[in-house]
Structure 1
Amino acid sequence: MNAATDLSFTAPGLHGQLAQLTPEQLDRLDFGVIGFNGETVVDQYNQTESEAAGLSTSRVLGQPLFTNVAPCMNNFMVAQRFEDAQDEGSPLDDTIDYVLTLRMRPIKVKLRLLAEPGSAQRYVLVQRKL
């Protein structure tokens, strides 16, 4: 079984599965993966997202997601959902239609927001093929 090939943007239980993948396996996914810690610092950024967004991994890793990398997501639709889930100690698994606007022409995407209580690792997944 190739874990990376078998995972889809809509797969159930995706948070736990992503946490077990190597950077090379994350790079083989056909959707963007931005993983970040409890301080919103990006610690995972796959090749799919890097190529689509035009931002190198070295430029993104170690940077705060909602201020330095993707300030267009620093709003009630994305960043606030992570804050609310953390404050409530509840899981987050929401898929939303979104328009990315930073550093590119506006592009419609689906975002999947993932967080689990007890895990500092959180994810924004980006599906561009709609």
Structure 2
Amino acid sequence: MNAARIPRFEQRDLASAVEALPPDALDTLDFGAIRLDDGGAVQIYNLAERRLSGSGDLPRIGLEFFSSVAPCMNQSGFRGRIERALARGRLDLEFSWTGDFSDRLRSVTVRVQSATGGGYWIFMRREDG
């Protein structure tokens, strides 16, 4: 695959660019990419997110993200921020978060954007990753 076609984390239309990739290319991204359906169940959880978060091969697909996968993010500063943006009808967020699966003090930059056909993407870049 042409490296120029691999999206950058900073790219404005990141969700659209990731959705345009062939499915196997999601695992070539150097940042975490998670797609949730409208109900919050994990549809996609890429290899970079498994590796960089330290969560490894734990089951993810089909599980409710905020209760079963990342309960540490089930709070106002993370989930609440997403829900407030959804209520306003505009989901295009970027914020900093402290905490990760393997290191609760790790800094993470988070981007959240609407997914085509419903649901949304959560993209995460570790500052040391």
Q: Please report the TM-score for the alignment, with normalisation by the length of structure 1.
A: 0.83
Whether the 8 Å contact between 1:4 and 1:25 is mirrored in structure 2 is: no
Residue aligning to 1:33: 33
Task: Say whether 1:6 aligns with 2:2.
Answer: no
What are the ranges of 5 or more consecutive residues in structure 2 without an aligned counterpart? none
CA gap of 1:3–1:20, structure 2 versus 1, over 3 A, is: farther
* Counterpart mapping for 1:36-51 below 5 A: 36-51=36-51
CA gap of 1:53–1:101, structure 2 versus 1, over 3 A, is: closer
Q: Please report the TM-score for the alignment, with normalisation by the length of structure 2.
A: 0.83
CA gap of 1:3–1:66, structure 2 versus 1, over 3 A, is: farther
What are the ranges of 5 or more consecutive residues in structure 1 without an aligned counterpart? none
Residue aligning to 2:71: 71
Q: Give 1:55 shift.
A: 2.5
CA gap of 1:57–1:39, structure 2 versus 1, over 3 A, is: farther
Residue aligning to 2:52: 52
Cα deviation, 1:55-95, whole Å, max 9, x if unaligned, reads 345601111111111111112222122222332222x2222
Q: In structure 2, the residue corresponding to 1:127 is in which secondary structure?
A: strand
Whether the 8 Å contact between 2:98 and 2:104 is mirrored in structure 1 is: no
Whether the 8 Å contact between 2:45 and 2:61 is mirrored in structure 1 is: yes
- Percent sequence identity over matched residues? 30
Residue aligning to 1:115: 114
Residue aligning to 1:126: 124
RMSD: 2.3
Q: In structure 2, the residue corresponding to 1:120 is in which secondary structure?
A: coil
CA gap of 1:15–1:109, structure 2 versus 1, over 3 A, is: same
Amino acid in structure 2 at the alignment position of 1:26: L
Distance across 1 between alignment mates of 2:4 and 2:40: 24
Distance across 1 between alignment mates of 2:113 and 2:58: 23
